[in-house]
Structure formats: structure tokens, C-alpha cells
């Protein structure tokens, strides 16, 4: 998502990895930011992926660049906005044009901080919750009850395959998964089967 103001263009995007071309990679997004018009003076960026403890920080999980600005006045302020807001899995590129006023190191840091905050506020923030991937086997007669129960538990049907019975792949919020499986057994007299086969993160708008 891209936003413009008088002296900056700032873009922000959720990232899934650092390098992948087709999978939401940060380096691809940064490269796209560098394709802005050549009259731009600097293209500062910062990005970070969720660490083991669920926060930005540590080794290859964080990268940033001042792109020719005085050290610590560009990428680090943008990264500071991420850290201050507990933001992970995100990349922000700020393209600066010379506006005729020399800002100094303090002014630059404040300008990049303001640009990053504005970009995040404009784009919106998602809370990433862990959801369970549940494989369900049921009869055709039970299918409607299964889909209704999935919705009642806050989940969603991802796919369904029809053969001798119905094979459903559903996504359930992690906190609701146990209740779903228990209620499914009750309403089908334990004839429908459900198994957790994985998990993935889903975004919930704040």
C-alpha cells in the first residue's frame, strides 16, 4: 500500500519472508520501492519478521537501511516505530525528496518516524492469531450441521471434497478448536471425525 505527501512517498506491506519473489518477500518489496523516480534522494527501509518469542529482533529477522542518510536517521527510526507498536512481519519503504530545507539529523529522524507512523495508521494493523487446520469426515446428512457448527465456533470452511462421504478442511481459531471437536462428537453421536492436521496464522483487523 502506497501513500504520498509533499516530501515523502511511504509504502508499507505485510511480508511472509525475506527473499521470495512470489510469496510476499521483503527484498522484492524494497526493490519495487527503489523503482521510484530517479529524482528521489533517499529510499529508506526497514523490515522484520516474527522472532521465536513473537517479536521483532535478532539476527536475520531484522534489516534496515539509511540509504545514504546520516547513520541512524532513517532505517532505525522506522524500525523503532515497528518495535514501539509491537509490529512484526512488516516492511516499510520511505522515499524522500529534497524539499528545500535541511532538516539536520534530529529532523530527519523525526521525519522518518512520522512517515512510518502515518503509513501504518493509513494501512491498518492486523493481529496475527494462530488458527487450527482441521480435517473433518462426515456424511452428506451431517454436512449442514458441520458447516453451521464451524461458523458458530468462529471458523470457516476452506474446502470440501465429495465422495462416499464429505471430506472437509476447516480453519478454527486455536482457542475454539477443542470446543468444536467436542461439540461435533456430540451432535453426530461420534460418527463424524475431526483431526487437527496443522496450524497457520490468520490476520484479524484491530
The residues spanned by each domain of the chain are: 2-124, 127-205
pLDDT of residue 193: 97
pLDDT of residue 10: 74
Query: Of 109, 87, 85, 84, whose CA–CA distance to 96 is shortest?
Result: 109
pLDDT of residue 4: 40
pLDDT of residue 58: 44
Domain with residues 127-205, CATH architecture: 2-Layer Sandwich (3.30)
pLDDT of residue 120: 87
pTM of the model: 0.61
DSSP assignment of 114-162: HHHHHHHHHH--EEEEEEEEEEEEE-GGGHHHHHHHHHHTT-EEEEEEE
pLDDT of residue 12: 78
* Secondary-structure breakdown of the chain: helix, strand, coil percentages, each rounded to the nearest 5: 35, 35, 30
Helix (H, G, I), strand (E, B) or coil at 48: strand
pLDDT of residue 28: 52
pLDDT of residue 187: 96
Q: With left for phi above 0 and alpha for psi between -120 and 50, is residue 24 left, alpha or beta?
A: left
The per-residue pLDDT string of the chain (206 residues; one tens digit each, 9 = 90 and over) reads: 443 444 667 777 777 655 543 344 555 555 554 555 556 577 788 887 765 444 444 444 778 888 888 888 988 999 999 888 888 888 888 887 765 556 678 888 988 898 889 888 888 888 888 999 999 999 999 999 999 999 999 999 999 999 999 999 999 999 999 999 999 999 999 999 999 999 998 877 77
Please identify which residue in the block is written with the cell numbers 465422495. 163
2-124 domain in CATH 1.20.950.20?
no
Amino acid at each position: 500500500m502506497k501513500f504520498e505527501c509533499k516530501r515523502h512517498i511511504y509504502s508499507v506491506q505485510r511480508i511472509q519472508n525475506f527473499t521470495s519473489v512470489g510469496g510476499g518477500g521483503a527484498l522484492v518489496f524494497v526493490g519495487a520501492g527503489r523503482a521510484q523516480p530517479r529524482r528521489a534522494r533517499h529510499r529508506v527501509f526497514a523490515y522484520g519478521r516474527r522472532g521465536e518469542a513473537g517479536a521483532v529482533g535478532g539476527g536475520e529477522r531484522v534489516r534496515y537501511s539509511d540509504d545514504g542518510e546520516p547513520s541512524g536517521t532513517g532505517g532505525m527510526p522506522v524500525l523503532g516505530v515497528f518495535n514501539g507498536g509491537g509490529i512484526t512481519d512488516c516492511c516499510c519503504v520511505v522515499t524522500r525528496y529534497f524539499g528545500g530545507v535541511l532538516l539536520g539529523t534530529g529532523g530527519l529522524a523525526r521525519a522518518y518516524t512520522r512517515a512510518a507512523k502515518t503509513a501504518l495508521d493509513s494501512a491498518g494493523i492486523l493481529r496475527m492469531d494462530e488458527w487450527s487446520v482441521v480435517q473433518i469426515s462426515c456424511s452428506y446428512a451431517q454436512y449442514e450441521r458441520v458447516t453451521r457448527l464451524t461458523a458458530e465456533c468462529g471458523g470457516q470452511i476452506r474446502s470440501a471434497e465429495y465422495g462416499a462421504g464429505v471430506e472437509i478442511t476447516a480453519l478454527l481459531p486455536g482457542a475454539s478448536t477443542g470446543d468444536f471437536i467436542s461439540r461435533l462428537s456430540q451432535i453426530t453421536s461420534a460418527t463424524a471425525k475431526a483431526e487437527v492436521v496443522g496450524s497457520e496464522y490468520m490476520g484479524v483487523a484491530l
